[in-house]
Structure 1
């Protein structure tokens, strides 16, 4: 591993702190912001029990963190909003949208919204973010990189988010609902038809920027009914045959949503490689980077996802369940034991690509019972010796294989993936 490029973790007193995460972790040309709850920075208490007030506080906390590292909100590339399950997700989204755009002076970030069963501190919502980091981290020199937003007429448009924003060597795609581009409505049909429509929308967005679907490195699927996954996988596998490029399929994480916008049965977002980068001076294909996918026998394998897919300066890991790789079954034991197994699987994957756990920059944890968070933290913090990664924790109604926990991670990749 090349140790020249260092991750930089920071906390500011201007936003709430968490003993189990850093507020922001920068590596190379991105900063990852931990999920921000609607907490008053002075009192550390939740603000008023009102979706609009809490959304405003989440964005204020993100803004404080962003400004503490000498950036501004126009550097935000992607926002993920997790709503606590309510009777009407559309009303909550409308309330958020009344204040959301005012925090951004340029064009808006890409965005994903999903309702989950519970959030820490019983908040009504939380938001995490990813921001551009043009200056890079030591010893990288400042590069004249620009954000490149794109919308195509061939996929559904939304006033609250562009379809894709490219920065440096990645495109980040807004979550795609199964919306018919001609009608603007959810298509008729079941989960197979909706899966196909989501993927067709992603495909159209990528084709418009001349990127093939097989350059997707990470897929996140939010699904209403976990029992529908077999039907989803049947359609999904036809879009990502493992012979497409280098014999790999993207890293992947499944999250069970309590509800989704427009009453959809699922939505899909994607992280996509962007080989030519977004330097204002570089020529197309100047960087000669390649995708490197890897599986190890020391962690659970799946025919539908690769354990880790590296591109440029990052490794994206699939969500890890507490599966014993020797038996391919969920281990026996309580939340502490299952947390340890998830992290052991992540550690095995990370070490298989010659990295260590302290190279992890962002972690997302799904919990069947949000009350387990303290027990999780006790195990979780023991796996890191350096500054903790940025982190997001949500409570969900179900996890694949009836697990109590699932953990995914993004890992720094200082050596990059140059063409060999």
Structure 2
């Protein structure tokens, strides 16, 4: 077993104790996935007093405590995702954020959502590099470096890097519909804004010699769910991009989230996770062809024309967000959150098993609820699928979900065999 990556879940008393069945951090291969941190004082177990700045500081203190508990530093953070209750708080939270990242800045996504657990004003999530890997007794520290890159062909921000690569993944900051020449939002509605978001992503990828079809996961944040049809019309003009991708009709895994507000009052914001075949530092050229993207669908889970159920690359599988749709009837099940949560997780389980994996291979789960008050009922079902509570997790509340669902769930799954399978 010493030659295989292992899922490594860890907790520390120095940070917020989970308010649900999840681990503070789950490492696999060269990444640590942290559960979203609420502004909970670990000593008292309660939300900290004060306004949004005090709460943001506590969120980042909790992240720092977790990072240090696993012998890492804040400069090992690759991505930060900030969820706000009120987008007007963005400047206050950013002032706290910059205090924790005074020089190096990771990639960044910021959105406002309808509700957060415990009625918090802010919640912060982090993805951490893991240079030593998770092969027992085989530390790999020193073999990998973090690569941070920016191009003037896409919007440049002092708060974030456009792209941070580590090991076999490039993580991109969520792109707003900003024209990089003017620094302003493009004119028009959701159609024009989606075009600009995807143009910005394409410009970043071209600047680092990465094809657009190397994207393995897309997250689309929309202010109005009614704009999704216009977003999708644009989406199909960018995907598939290459002749090879068009031949197999390749689409990345995808999640759509209806948010209450976006920075600059944008209508759309798009985040991408990209495969990085040459790794960090670059492997010899011929080695990059040893790792391939594997896209897979199964009839045992709902199939969507614009996304693949699971896209594997290197040591991770990225699963598209699952709605509570019965794949047999193609309709949303039931009227309650328990039944709908069960269907979402059944769909994930069917996808995971279709690629010869098990639910214990899940390292991260992201849950979106229409009513945050449904959290306890959702957890009752959740624990039957994850009785050990191992995966890291994020829960947010939104005003609406596709198909008028009550819950939507996405997952990141470990892929020990890599792509293609190791010998």
Cross-structure match for 1:51: 52
TM-score by length of 2: 0.95
Contact 1:37 1:126 in 2 (8 A): yes
Deviation of 1:419 after TM superposition, in Å, equals 7.9
Alpha-carbon distance, 1:285 to partner: 4.8
Whole-Å separation in 2 of the counterparts to 1:222 and 1:3: 39
Cα shift at 1:103: 1.2
Q: Which residue of 2 aligns with 1:397?
A: 399
| TM-score computed with the length of structure 1 as normaliser | 0.96
Q: Does 1:24 align with 2:25?
A: yes
CA distance in 2, matches of 1:366, 1:113: 16
Q: Indicate the residue corresponding to 1:34 in structure 2.
A: 35
Q: In the alignment, which residue of structure 2 is the partner of 1:221?
A: 220
Instruction: Verify the 8 A CA contact 1:170 1:271 in the aligned structure 2.
Output: yes
1 CA distance for matches of 2:244 and 2:232? 17
1:209 aligns with 208
Gapped runs of 5+ residues in structure 1? none
139-148 or 61-70, larger mean C-alpha shift: 139-148
**Structure 1, residues 162-186: CA drift from partner, whole Å, max 9, x if none?**
1000000000000000001111000
SS at match of 1:183: coil
Quote the Cα distance in structure 2 between the aligned partners of 1:226 and 1:330.
17
Determine if contact 2:322/2:409 at 8 Å carries over to the other structure: yes
The structure 2 residue matched to 1:377, chosen from 371, 379, 395, is: 379
Aligned to 1:270: 272
Aligned-partner Cα distance in 2 for 1:106–1:381: 40
Aligned: 1:121 with 2:121: no
Distance verdict in 2 for CA 1:339–1:419, change over 3 Å: closer
Give CA deviations for 1:289-315 in whole Å, capped at 9, x if unaligned. Answer: 000000000000011000000000000
Q: How far 1:283 moved relative to its partner?
A: 2.4
Report if aligned partners of 1:241, 1:249 keep a CA contact under 8 Å in 2: yes
**CA distance in 2 between partners of 1:41 and 1:133 (Å):** 25
Assess if the C-alpha contact under 8 Å between 1:83 and 1:125 holds in 2: yes
Structure 2 Cα separation of the partners of residues 285 and 265 of structure 1: 42
Contact 1:214-1:244 within 8 A present in 2 as well: no
Matched, 1:318 2:320: yes
Q: Which residue of 1 aligns with 2:131?
A: 134
Q: Contact (CA 8 Å) 1:339, 1:376: kept in 2 or not?
A: yes
Q: Distance in 1 between matches of 2:267 and 2:2?
A: 43
In structure 2, runs of 5+ residues without a counterpart are: none
1:284 is displaced (CA, Å) by 3.6
Evaluate the alpha carbon distance shift between residue 26 and residue 158 of structure 1 in structure 2; reply closer, same or farther with a 3 A threshold: same
| Counterpart contact for 1:358–1:387, Cα < 8 Å | no
RMSD over aligned CA atoms reads: 1.7
Q: Is the 8 A contact 2:5 2:133 kept in 1?
A: no
Q: Distance in 1 between matches of 2:281 and 2:149?
A: 16
Equivalents in 1 of 2:192, 2:284: separation in Å? Answer: 40
Aligned to 1:98: 95
1:186–1:13: structure 2 CA closer, same or farther, 3 Å change rule?
same
SS at 1:275 equivalent? coil
Counterpart-to-counterpart distance in 2, 1:149 and 1:104? 14
Match of 2:418 in 1: 416
Residues 279-294 of structure 1: pairs in structure 2 closer than 5 A: 279=281, 282-287=283-288, 288-294=290-296
Helix, strand or coil at the partner of 2:346: helix
Alpha-carbon offset, residue 401 of structure 1:
0.3
Deviation sequence 1:247-298 (CA, Å, 0-9, x none) = 3100000000100000100100000000000037x32452420000000000
Kindly indicate whether the alpha-carbon contact (under 8 Å) linking 2:217 and 2:318 is maintained by their aligned counterparts in 1.
yes
Q: Quick check: 2:11–2:23 contact (8 Å CA) kept in 1?
A: yes
The residue aligned with 1:4 is: 4
1:217-255: per-residue Cα shift (whole Å, max 9, x none)? 000000001011111100001100286424310000000
Does the CA contact (< 8 Å) of 1:135 and 1:142 recur in 2? yes
Cα separation, partners in 2 of 1:214 and 1:152, compared to 1, 3 Å: same
Quote how far apart the aligned CAs of 1:2 are: 11
SS of residue in 1 equivalent to 2:273:
strand
Q: Please list, as runs of the form range in 1=range in 2, the aligned pairs for 1:80-95 lying within 5 A after superposition.
A: 80-84=81-85, 86=86, 89=87, 91-95=88-92
SS at match of 1:318: strand
SS at match of 1:25: strand
Q: Note the C-alpha offset of 1:138.
A: 2.2
Q: Distance in 2 between matches of 1:241 and 1:160?
A: 31
1:345 equivalent in structure 2: 347
Does the 8 A contact of 1:36 with 1:127 survive in 2? yes
Runs of 4+ in 1 over 3 A off after TM superposition: none
- Partner Cα separation in structure 2 for residue 292 and residue 354 of structure 1: 13
Distance 1:134 1:244 in 2: 33
